[in-house]
Chains A and B, each alone.
Chain A
Amino acid sequence: MPAETIVEVKEIDMTYEGGVEALAGVSLALPEGRISTFLGPSGCGKTTLLKIIAGLIPPTHGEIWVKGKKVDGPGPERAFVFQDFALLPWANVLRNVAFGLELRGLPAQERHAIARKHIAEVGLKSFEASYPHQLSGGMRQRVGLARALSVDADIILMDEPFSSVDEQTRRKFQEELLDLLRHKHKTVIFVTHSIEEAAYLSDQIILLSPRPGTISNIIRPNIDREGRNPDEIRRDKNYLDAVDEIWEILKHYV
């Protein structure tokens, strides 16, 4: 079933002040209701590309189209999960998770009710009153995730959201992410360093070359997930082929 394109990246070049060329000539179409993953060596411009799509960094050249409209800033249809969490150190978990809604002017009671729901979803129910410095890296990352879920955006941009959690939690989150898509019809654009994670989760994996980042390959694993448990999927031929194929390409960059 071909999905409609929700985000279009058109000929993006990005050169930072000081002359670092992070991206060169990146064009992409990201399908609605699917998971697309950016994968590539450290420093190849994954975060930069994600932030350009989020409207947080203006590209040197090129355009971003979301739902058929050109955008040049953040919008309510996109939410971001930051690689460095970006939590307010002076606010507790509840306020941090509700912060996106606070900025939109939702009354405290309403936004706290929504935030509590998502805090429970990411497994931090008893930590609502804790401050970021009292949480582990993985817990902080979950707070950032809950904050992005709270604003109920159609497109969720995630910068290595599972990099600081243990393997069990990581797998639990991966399942939840797949669930989220099935039930809420969200589009997820995702950065990861893990080949297995990319192959397991993604409908489309965009491999970036080292700096300046260009698209080197696009891989569509085409894994049939219907009615199968995670272990079955991890033994699926298409999954294993995708892992091999990605590794074949990436190992040239090491």
Chain B
Amino acid sequence: MERKSAVISPLVWQLISFALFFGLWEIAGRWPISFAFPPFSKTLLALLRMLADGSLPKAYLSTLQPLIIGIVLCSVAGIGFGIGMGLSRAIEWFSLPVFIILQAAPMAAIIPLITYMYGIGLTSKVLAVVVLAAPVIVMNSYKGIRNTNPSLIQMCRAFLGTRRQEMIKIILPHAAALIFAGLRLGLAMGFIGIVIAELLITPTGIGDLITYHSSVADYPEMFAAIASIILFAALTIHALERLEQRLFPPETRGLEDAG
């Protein structure tokens, strides 16, 4: 009984919170705060219209393409480089300061520079994603490797593990959770990168929908596009977070490092 109510009540609270949020949005839109700010109901209808006429799905297909290419590139090269940094003092020495700065810097500021150098094509958009997503992916892989419990490495050596076994059976499993978290954070950055790129470089996909509808004053459509990408990104990241909890329960990650 008690368990059940404990499971239900957060959900109820979440629903109430959503209802309140959309209710306030509706009121604010009808007031109106600004004639460019549509109420929730009109935005929802616009969203359904765009789904029905296929413009929204089409936009997503074109937005997701550079995003996915960028994230896949980062996963391969970024994780590889991060692991290298964790294993080799030399690589760590010359690249760690760079990545610490990159991770703290507002990398979005570089996007206009990318356009200047690589034009307005797919390459630029992929690069925008990479530039934003790579630092956190590299840094998390690096930290995952570097934080391996030294006692476990000693144990592996005491029981005659080879360097290769040490890598596969101790270091990588130990780092896996942090690496995965890096990918999730990287994807979140990638969403920011791609939206900025589509607004700043060439309007395609979601960026195109937003720009076009705002230029012809279809504000409900413009808002629907904005809300949909926010929702889409939030749900994707949330799903990855759930998967991460499932794959790497905190208790089995190592008792002393909380990541």
In the complex, how many angstroms separate the beta carbon of A77 from the nearest chain B beta carbon? Answer: 11
Q: How far is the CA of A131 from the CA of B251 in the complex (A)?
A: 9
Could you say which of B151, B158, B161, B253 contacts A84, with CB atoms under 8 Å apart? B151
A76 within 8 Å of B (CB atoms): yes
25 A–B contact pairs at CB < 8 A? A56-B154, A76-B160, A78-B158, A79-B158, A84-B151, A86-B151, A86-B152, A86-B154, A86-B155, A88-B170, A88-B173, A89-B252, A89-B255, A90-B173, A90-B174, A90-B253, A99-B159, A103-B159, A103-B169, A104-B159, A104-B160, A132-B255, A133-B251, A133-B255, A151-B159
Q: Point out the residues of chain B lying under 8 angstroms from A102, CB to CB.
A: 169
Q: Point out the residues of chain B lying under 8 angstroms from A74, CB to CB.
A: 157-160
Q: Point out the residues of chain B lying under 8 angstroms from A88, CB to CB.
A: 152, 169-170, 173
In the complex, how many angstroms separate the beta carbon of A162 from the nearest chain B beta carbon? Answer: 19
Q: Point out the residues of chain B lying under 8 angstroms from A82, CB to CB.
A: 151, 154-155
- Chain A residues numbered 62-120 whose CB sits less than 8 Å from any CB in chain B: 73-76, 78-80, 82, 84, 86, 88-90, 99-100, 102-104
Q: Point out the residues of chain B lying under 8 angstroms from A86, CB to CB.
A: 149, 151-152, 154-155
In the complex, how many angstroms separate the beta carbon of A102 from the nearest chain B beta carbon? Answer: 8
Q: How far is the CA of A147 from the CA of B151 in the complex (A)?
A: 15
In the complex, the answer to whether B158 meets A54 with C-beta atoms within 8 Å is yes
In the complex, how many angstroms separate the beta carbon of B259 from the nearest chain A beta carbon? Answer: 13
What 0/1 pattern do residues 128 to 160 of A give for CB contact below 8 A with B? Answer: 000111100000000000010001000000000
In the complex, how many angstroms separate the beta carbon of A24 from the nearest chain B beta carbon? Answer: 23
In the complex, how many angstroms separate the beta carbon of B258 from the nearest chain A beta carbon? Answer: 12
Q: Point out the residues of chain A lying under 8 angstroms from B174, CB to CB.
A: 90
Closest chain A residue to B155 by CB distance? A86
Q: How far is the CA of A54 from the CA of B154 in the complex (A)?
A: 10
Q: Point out the residues of chain A lying under 8 angstroms from B253, CB to CB.
A: 89-90
Listed residue (B158, B253, B255) with the most chain A CB atoms within 10 angstroms of its CB = B158
What 0/1 pattern do residues 193 to 229 of A give for CB contact below 8 A with B? Answer: 0000000000000000000000000000000000000
Q: Point out the residues of chain B lying under 8 angstroms from A78, CB to CB.
A: 158
What 0/1 pattern do residues 142 to 186 of B give for CB contact below 8 A with A? Answer: 000000010110111111111001000110011000000000000
Q: How far is the CA of A74 from the CA of B154 in the complex (A)?
A: 10
Q: Point out the residues of chain A lying under 8 angstroms from B32, CB to CB.
A: none
In the complex, how many angstroms separate the beta carbon of A174 from the nearest chain B beta carbon? Answer: 23
Q: Point out the residues of chain A lying under 8 angstroms from B169, CB to CB.
A: 88, 99, 102-103
Further contacts, 6 of them, CB under 8 A, given A79-B158, A100-B159, A151-B159: A73-B157, A79-B159, A82-B154, A103-B159, A131-B252, A134-B251
Could you say which of B160, B251, B255 contacts A103, with CB atoms under 8 Å apart? B160
In the complex, the answer to whether A80 meets B158 with C-beta atoms within 8 Å is yes
In the complex, the answer to whether B251 meets A89 with C-beta atoms within 8 Å is yes
Q: Point out the residues of chain A lying under 8 angstroms from B159, CB to CB.
A: 74, 79-80, 99-100, 103-104, 147, 151
What 0/1 pattern do residues 218 to 259 of B give for CB contact below 8 A with A? Answer: 000000000000000000000000000000000111110000
In the complex, how many angstroms separate the beta carbon of A56 from the nearest chain B beta carbon? Answer: 5
Q: Point out the residues of chain B lying under 8 angstroms from A132, CB to CB.
A: 255
Q: How far is the CA of A90 from the CA of B199 in the complex (A)?
A: 44
In the complex, how many angstroms separate the beta carbon of A101 from the nearest chain B beta carbon? Answer: 9
Q: Point out the residues of chain A lying under 8 angstroms from B151, CB to CB.
A: 82, 84, 86
CB-based closest 4 A-B pairs? A86-B155, A100-B159, A133-B251, A80-B158
Closest chain A residue to B251 by CB distance? A133
In the complex, how many angstroms separate the beta carbon of A97 from the nearest chain B beta carbon? Answer: 11
What 0/1 pattern do residues 21 to 46 of A give for CB contact below 8 A with B? Answer: 00000000000000000000000000
Q: Point out the residues of chain B lying under 8 angstroms from A76, CB to CB.
A: 160
Q: Point out the residues of chain A lying under 8 angstroms from B170, CB to CB.
A: 88
In the complex, how many angstroms separate the beta carbon of A146 from the nearest chain B beta carbon? Answer: 13
In the complex, how many angstroms separate the beta carbon of A159 from the nearest chain B beta carbon? Answer: 11
In the complex, how many angstroms separate the beta carbon of A103 from the nearest chain B beta carbon? Answer: 4
Closest chain A residue to B159 by CB distance? A100
- Chain B residues numbered 111-153 whose CB sits less than 8 Å from any CB in chain A: 149, 151-152
Q: Point out the residues of chain B lying under 8 angstroms from A90, CB to CB.
A: 173-174, 252-253
